[in-house]
Structure formats: structure tokens, C-alpha cells
Structure 1
């Protein structure tokens, strides 16, 4: 595949360039590439914009939810729902329900989506501690199963297992050792609720064990203004934070949260945004009664990306949605348009409407 004359943000602005793709990789990025000695599909993209694909590091692609009963169980996501939202790499995980759902189910859905064209990974675990795993051991899951990048657990939430610091420390140690032995980053991905001092257990573990903060990735850190301030504090201390791209809930929008942190002096590379797609966003009253449940969708991620793009420009917005997630997860060949990187691209028209998606070197969605 040869893409000609396309305005490219890699995420840095490369201007108009030609990009040659083969064997799912970017093979050349040059100002002009002539005719090729092999059969090549050539696309003139003079009126289009090219970016890296979005990397969604928190998506319930096997389905989740269940608060409110069986009628509120979210269905598994289709590959088309991800692609039309610009997602070329997705990391799946369990939600509240780890009784009727399993990590193995998430893994099998990851393989199915991979076969349909996108790149997939998963987190083992769920809300519960002790964690639900595939092999019976957190570290073995991370070491032995290529798609497993780390562990998910819930903290500071009425639906969590309310682990002690000692329990949490032991799990964090397992994640770190597994990362070291597997050559992965080893991510302890944390669903954060709204309890007071929500990241206390993370800080205490870091203080007592010296396990580096980069292993911990708290998400949903824009649930409300108080949690957003906790995100700011943690990021200024050197931690990484992830915001959720829910567009119609009564909480700070992800793009607003990102701007708030940047204006307060947080380095851009400590911030990511994910969709929480396929999960539920339940609303409880002050006494803990369930009032409503919204099933989240992948399109929220693209909505927040476009809103952020308008405020901080494509280079910084792409860092938050592509480059930073790739680096956070240790995906060394994703998140940028460079020679040797995976050919995962989004093709926009000049007004930033998504026109096509290239994943692993193939046009898998849209028409150009």
C-alpha cells in the first residue's frame, strides 16, 4: 500500500508526505516515493489527514455491566463498533461481574477481534481481590499469556473488595515481578471509585515497597471534581492517570480534565484517555440505591478526541489518545507513524470526519 501526498500527524506534524506500507509495517516515510517494482495499491490522499490509530486501554469488548440485574448486562462489542470509532488497538477487561463472566471469555474475544483485523490485549483480574485469573496465578497469567499486559482491580469503590494495604502490596509485587520476568511493563490497572482519599493505598504501597509508580494506572479519575483533584495531585507526584471518555454524564469531561491537568503543570506524557466501552455507568443516590444505568460506547472516545483536538491541537491530542497509551502499555511498535511501527492509521477528511481506518497495513473500514 502506498499513500501519496497525505498531511500526516505522526503525532508530530510531518506536512504532506508519502507512506509505503508492507507486511503490516511502515516501511518508508518520505517527501516523495516513486513507482514501486512490486504490485502496490496506491491511494492519492491529497485532501486527507493521516494520524495514528486510537489506542483504547480500557474497553469491555466481551461485555460487562449487570448492575440492576441480568437485563442490564452489556453485550460483546463488534469489531465495526471499534473501527468506526477509530480504535485500532483495544485492551479488554472484566467489570463488576466476575461471577457469570470470566477472564478466559475476555481472552477469547480478544483473539476473535484480532482475527477480524485489530490488535488486542487484556488485563487479568476484575474488581475482586483475590483476583480472578486464567491460570490461577496473576504472575503466571502475565508471564505465560502474551496478550495479558497486567492486572485489574477495584479500589475506593463500594463494589470493590476493600483490600488491605498488605493485600494490595502483595499483588503489586506480583505484577512488578511478572513484568520483569516477561519483559512487559506490568500494569496494575485500577478502577477507582469515589471513596475518600481514593489513592491512599497506592501511595502507601509505593512508600513501603518502593514499587515504582509507573506500574499503577488509576482510571475513571474524572468521576467528579474531587476525584479530578486527586488525579492532579497524583500526576504532580509523578504518577500516571487515565480519564474516561463518557460524554453525557454529570462529571468533568475527559477533554476538560486533560486541559485542567496541563494548565496545572502536569507533563503531557502522564495522561491518557480510554472509553470504558461495553461497560455500565451506573448512577446511585446518596443512600446507595441504583437510579439508572448507561451502557458506554466506543464512539465516546472519538468524541472526546475531536473535542480535545479543537482545544490543544492534533499533536498533543494524539499523544493522549495514541502515543501515551502505547508507551504506558509497553507497545513499542504502536502509537506513532514511523518506519518499523505497525501500520495503524486513521484517515480523516479536511474537516476531521473519519473516512477510513487502516489496521495492520490493511484498509479495514471506510472508503478512500
Structure 2
């Protein structure tokens, strides 16, 4: 049992000063003033002294086994460890495979997801990877989603990218229909999370899929849509048609033909497109490569989940209200992924809680009712983490 006192709650809507009683990994009670608790409960108390308390961030695009591999086996990125997520306020992740869906497969992905669950994070994943036919455990996407608990969608399936399988419209529709039906059967997300490269075709394949099929727009979930400015304009129009688009919090140079995550979200709000149809993810553990004209890697960086908290701080510094910015990191993601106990602070919801300082920096993190970060210091680490990891 844990009593969280004096929290300025954004759920993500502002609720004002609240106390919360947490037990069994859930929020059991919330109100203006907690009653006295009997000693037999042995409840610990966390006093936030008026700091803002928000739902834990849901990072919907994470390479939990590591990514990369485009420049040889030595360029394969190691798997991020637990505190790489939690110290950035991330309490839930969705893992996936990228370019390398051969040396790293679905078995390793499911094992990595289950390992994070054992260490206290909430974690799910997508079947498949960049390529078609999709990497699966059972032989079909539909069966993977039906029988493997942690798999909730397909992705990241690459389009408009020289590393993709160059999928045709029929191939995309076949995968999307399998995923959609599996979602109906199981109550899972049932989405196809689409990696967008910087190719000139952009989102044309998705537009044609919407025009020529009966599949609902929510099935198609393009990510990295801020990597080119014209691509982002295309993505906004898809959001108007019912797709949920995903902005990536990767580094963007001042002279680059791209939008930073903060720039993209501000522009999305200004467009008037539905605010519930945009999310922000980090590409944590993934390689962020640059390619030369021959398609060879000439430089690379590595994504990290802390980019979500950095983006939120930037938005707040630019005058965006916390309650306006938060849904893209919390409730919008939960709704897209059909995770009803995530993304909000409410009685009965999972106790995934993040406290912010005056500048929006992460000070305290509670995941599934357990303290992972207190006063800015990591207090719960992964199995193989050292004090300096």
C-alpha cells in the first residue's frame, strides 16, 4: 500500500490537488484529502509537495531487443535496460522488430517483452517487422495475435523505404485484414504500425488502401511522419480521414527537411486535425541512420525513451498547456492500443504515475504501484544494470 499525498493531478485533464491510495498495482482511491489509514496496512507515504502528477508515458515504438544492423553485425544496437525507460517517465512500452527481423526474431522479441514485465514495466509488442512475409511464431499474423498474449498488432512494416519489401497494395491489404480480424477476435489493438521512409511515394499506399478497401482507417498507423515536412502534411490529411499518426522524437537539425517532435505536435494542433489522433514515440533502442546516395550508412544515432520527456519539456517551455500536450504521450496511445487501464489517472486504472518539477522534468516514477525513480534518482534497476548503467 502506498499513499501519494499533495499531488497536483493531470489525469490528463487537470484535477487539482489530490491524494491517491495505491495498492495491488492500481489506484484504489483518489480525493482531496486522504483519511487516516490503520497501522496494520503499513502504507508508505510519498509526499509530492504540490508537484504535478501525470500518467506514466506510453512509448508505442521501442526496439526492446535493440535495433540497427544496417552497417553490419557490429552495428546491431544493444537492448535498452529498465532504467533507460523509467528515468524518462516511461512506464509502458510496445516492442517491435525493425530492419533486422532475421537475426532478431519474434521469439527474442517476446522474451524481451516478458523480461521487462518481470522487472516491473508494462510491455506489449507487434508481430512482424520491416518485411513481408511478416516474421511470426505460429505461421500467421492472425494466430500470433490470437494465441500470444503480449502481441497486439503488426509492425513496424516498412513502406516508402529502400529497406522495405516494396509491398504492393494487395500485400498491404492482406496483412491489414489479418491484423484487423485478429483485433476483433481478441479485443487487442489490431493495428498495422507502418514505418515511413523518406521515399517520394510517402503515404500514397495508405491512401489507396483507404480508398479501395472496407478496412477502418484506425487499422493503419503510420510512424516517423515528421521525418519530411511534406510527409507530415500528408499525415495530417490521413488523421482527418480517421488514421492515428505517430510522431517520432528523434533529433532534427535546424536546416533539415523535417520537424522535431515538438514542432510537429504544435503544427498538428494548429491544423485543427482531431487531437485524439496523434501520438509521440521515441524509437528507443533503434538505430537512427543516415544513408548516402548508394544506400550505405554514413552515420547513425540511437533512439532513447528519454526523448519523450525532453519533448514534453520543450512543449511546456513554448507555452503549450500540460493538459493539451499530455494525451499524445498517454491517453491517445492507450486508446489506440486498446489498453483501458493505461494512459489516465483514475480509480481502477493502473498505478503508473510520473511527477514533474516546475520545468516539466521527471522527478518521480511509479510503475504498476512500485517506485522506480524517487527525487530524480533511480531506485529500481534491471537485472543486469550496474549503478552506473
Q: TM-score range by the shorter chain?
A: over 0.9
How far is 1:362 from its partner?
Answer: 1.1
How do residues 120-269 of structure 1 correspond to structure 2 at under 5 angstroms? 120-152=123-155, 153-249=157-253, 250=256, 251-269=258-276
Q: CA deviation at 1:286?
A: 3.7
Distance 2:122 2:17 in 1: 27
CA shift for structure 1 position 289: 3.5
TM-score by length of 2: 0.92
Instruction: Pick one of 99, 104, 113 that aligns with 1:110.
Output: 113
- The Cα shift of 1:351 comes to 3.3
Q: Alpha-carbon deviation of 1:285?
A: 2.8
Q: Distance in 1 between matches of 2:16 and 2:358?
A: 13
Deviates more, 1:279-288 or 1:316-325: 279-288
- What displacement does 1:43 show? 2.1
Structure 1 residue runs of 5 or longer lacking an equivalent are: none
- Report if aligned partners of 2:309, 2:362 keep a CA contact under 8 Å in 1: no
1:283 aligns to 2:290 (yes or no): yes
CA contact (8 A) 1:47 1:350 kept: no
Matches within 5 A, 1:1-368: 1-37=2-38, 38-152=41-155, 153-249=157-253, 250=256, 251-310=258-317, 311-367=319-375
- Name the SS for the 1:243 alignment partner: strand
Rounded to whole Å, the distance in 1 between the matches of 2:370 and 2:311 is 26
Cα deviation code 1:289-315 (max 9, x no counterpart):
422111222221211121123331111
Give how far 1:22 is off: 0.9
Q: In 2, are the aligned partners of 1:68 and 1:293 still within 8 Å (CA)?
A: no
Deviates more, 1:36-45 or 1:141-150: 36-45
> Helix, strand or coil for the counterpart of 1:312?
coil
Q: Distance in 1 between matches of 2:186 and 2:168?
A: 27
Partner of 2:386: none
User: 1: distance between equivalents of 2:313 and 2:160?
Assistant: 31
The secondary structure found in structure 2 opposite 1:96 is: coil
Q: CA deviation at 1:287?
A: 4.2
Equivalent residue, structure 1, for 2:384: none
Query: Does structure 2 conserve the Cα–Cα contact (< 8 Å) formed by 1:63 and 1:76?
Result: yes
CA contact under 8 A between 1:67 and 1:293: conserved in structure 2? no
Q: Which runs of 4+ in 1 moved over 4 A?
A: none
Deviation at 1:135, TM superposition (A): 1.2
| Aligned-partner SS, 1:232 | helix
Deviates more, 1:296-305 or 1:73-82: 296-305
Q: Is the partner of 1:326 in helix, strand or coil? A: helix
> CA–CA distance in 1 between the matches of 2:148 and 2:85?
24
Query: Using the alignment, how far apart are the partners of 1:185 and 1:68 within structure 2?
Result: 33
Q: TM-score under structure 1 normalisation?
A: 0.97
Q: Which consecutive unaligned segments of at least 5 residues does structure 2 have?
A: 377-389
Q: Is the 8 A contact 2:217 2:241 kept in 1?
A: no
